[in-house]
Structure 1
Amino acid sequence: MRKVIWITGATSGFGMAAALKLLRGTDHQICVSGRRTELLDILVKEGAFAYPLDVTDPEQVHEIRMNIENDLGDIDAVLVNAGYGLYGPIEEVPGEAMIRQFEVNVFGAVETIRSVLSSMRKNGSGRIVITSSSAAHVSSAGMGYYAATKHSIKAIGTALRQEVKSHGIDVVMIEPGIVNTPFGTVALNNNYMNTESGAYASMMKELKQYMLKAFTRAPSTEETRDTMVRALIGEKVKPVYRTTTGSFGLSYLSKLLPAAAYDFVIREGIKRLK
């Protein structure tokens, strides 16, 4: 059965990779959203339907959902993927940057989900796939705000899964660890990380060196991309998929170790890889 699939955050990383896989390997109708229209054009050339969108504008989110339904019919599945990483100390990250992180990663995701629920409930079916992270289970110095958004997404996704199960709607969370995509270098270079001065400069410089090396050694997008595609169109799905070895290890460490031991492991891990 041909499905209407909506992917937000489709202009890079997992979103673009999943969209291309679906466009080249299936006959489903793929709707893509993002802020950079020139990158959406790449997907249009592959057969996608583009709907430029800033997920922090709730009215626009609902307008795009209505436009898709008017153009192609009810949305069968959505990949809630728009998001980015913000790195910096809790004390120093500017207030507006902190707010923006939550507006995109949490409130934008929630508004996207809310926009599709009514028609999915009416149809008694639907698939909501949410890009989360291993950071939903752990946190570390310099990544507190990003991790907080993913903790929030985990809580929201878990509650949503229980709320909509009886309506025939599947909720799936994808939890990759570090993966070699532009996400990491963009976050480290553009989204607040002060390594030049201040009380935390030395720590942030150490963290940046560690993260750059970790992204270089990390697996490519294929496993996470393929899991996203299966989650969107597969007949049976699991509630949560952890797509990298690191995502398994970190979640178990945070549960098994006492807080002081966990902090030590994270500090030592950063020192050894930097």
Structure 2
Amino acid sequence: MQQQVALVTGASSGIGEATVRALLTAGFTVYAAARRTERMQGLADDGARVLALDLTDDASITAAVAAILAEAGGIDVLVNNAGYGSYGSLEEVPIEEGRRQFEVNVFGLARLTQLVLPGMRERRSGTIVNVSSMGGKFYEPLGTWYHATKFAVEGLSDSLRIELRPFGVRVVIIEPGAVRSEWSGIARDTLLARSGTGPYAKYARRVAGVFALSYRGTLAAKPEAIGAAIRDAVLSERPRPRYAVAGGAPIVLFLRRLLPDRAFDLFVRAVYRH
């Protein structure tokens, strides 16, 4: 059986790096893509094929896919993992930053998917894994742009799953909870830089405090747990449409399904003392 080819974005750290290692162990040829190629030498030493990818640059996206197709002949698995959390009040975050958040978290994901789909459709096989978040189903103060992108990824993925079913292409959503990675530090820093002073300062400090407790405590999952879930979904003959994985995600998303909006609002306000 020919070795399957996987492309994983955001592979320089965290969930992406863990996913590359999990797929390598499962026998895949894995292309590890990220802007910071210098941080992926360890993955290269383990057998991954490293390439540069900037999801805000269409030329970079098309060049990366073209290079893989020229070398490997096709892409069997696409793991759209790259993304970041831009936090701060809607009032204070520049609209240009909101656009960049969508460029990375949504439009880059969609463009990559567009480019790999013709081959998958023609072969009538393939798996697209979109890494969303439990934040694609719930909400929190001062996270408007981030949650908007993850809600968009959820809707895009659900529609795409039905759209591609006749062609044998599978779409899976991964919804991680709190994960020990640099994501939380970046989100916290942007939050305090934009809303740490001024009218939202009190709430920004509270949200930053919740981040510190959630992402550094025992609740936070290791990236390897998410990487293993992605590997298992890819290897499954019949993967579930979505996987709520670790870091409190199963509990939070259960409450979101159970509680009406006003009751869930009270839960969120209690957590953030908002």
Q: TM-score, normalised by structure 1?
A: 0.93
Q: How does 1:29-40 map to 2 (within 5 A)?
A: 29-40=29-40
* 1:224 Cα deviation from its structure 2 partner: 1.3
8 Å CA contact 2:178, 2:247 repeated in 1: no
The more displaced of 171-180 and 232-241 is: 232-241
1:191 to 1:199, Cα distance in 2 relative to 1, 3 A: closer
SS of 1:51's partner is strand
Match of 1:3 in 2: 4
Match of 1:58 in 2: 58
CA distance, structure 2, for counterparts of residue 181 and residue 196 of structure 1: 22
8 Å CA contact 2:131, 2:175 repeated in 1: yes
SS of 1:175's partner is strand
1:181 to 1:269, Cα distance in 2 relative to 1, 3 A: same
> C-alpha offsets along residues 22-63 of structure 1, whole Å, 9 cap, x if unaligned?
22x233211111000101222111111112010122232122
8 Å CA contact 1:5, 1:75 repeated in 2: yes
Q: How does 1:22-101 map to 2 (within 5 A)?
A: 22-23=23-24, 25-101=25-101
Q: How does 1:200-239 map to 2 (within 5 A)?
A: 200-217=200-217, 218-239=220-241
* 1:193 Cα deviation from its structure 2 partner: 4.3
CA distance, structure 2, for counterparts of residue 120 and residue 192 of structure 1: 43
Match of 2:13 in 1: 12
> C-alpha offsets along residues 174-224 of structure 1, whole Å, 9 cap, x if unaligned?
011112222111221246643542110010011101111110121222321
CA distance, structure 2, for counterparts of residue 256 and residue 223 of structure 1: 26
Query: How many correspondences in the alignment?
Result: 271
* 1:163 Cα deviation from its structure 2 partner: 0.4
* 1:96 Cα deviation from its structure 2 partner: 1.5
8 Å CA contact 2:19, 2:230 repeated in 1: yes
1:233 to 1:58, Cα distance in 2 relative to 1, 3 A: farther
1:110 and 2:139 matched: no
The more displaced of 168-177 and 247-256 is: 247-256
CA distance, structure 2, for counterparts of residue 143 and residue 190 of structure 1: 11
8 Å CA contact 1:85, 1:191 repeated in 2: no
How many percent of aligned residue pairs carry the same amino acid?
Answer: 33
Q: How does 1:114-133 map to 2 (within 5 A)?
A: 114-133=114-133
Match of 2:256 in 1: 254
Letter in 2 for 1:80: N
SS of 1:30's partner is strand
CA distance, structure 2, for counterparts of residue 178 and residue 104 of structure 1: 20
8 Å CA contact 2:87, 2:146 repeated in 1: yes
Match of 1:21 in 2: 22
Match of 1:157 in 2: 157
The more displaced of 9-18 and 233-242 is: 233-242
SS of 2:6's partner is strand
8 Å CA contact 2:192, 2:205 repeated in 1: no
Match of 1:264 in 2: 266
* 1:245 Cα deviation from its structure 2 partner: 6.0
Letter in 2 for 1:86: S
Letter in 1 for 2:159: A
8 Å CA contact 1:137, 1:250 repeated in 2: no
CA distance, structure 1, for counterparts of residue 264 and residue 205 of structure 2: 21
* 1:64 Cα deviation from its structure 2 partner: 1.2
* Structure 2, unaligned runs of 5 or more: none
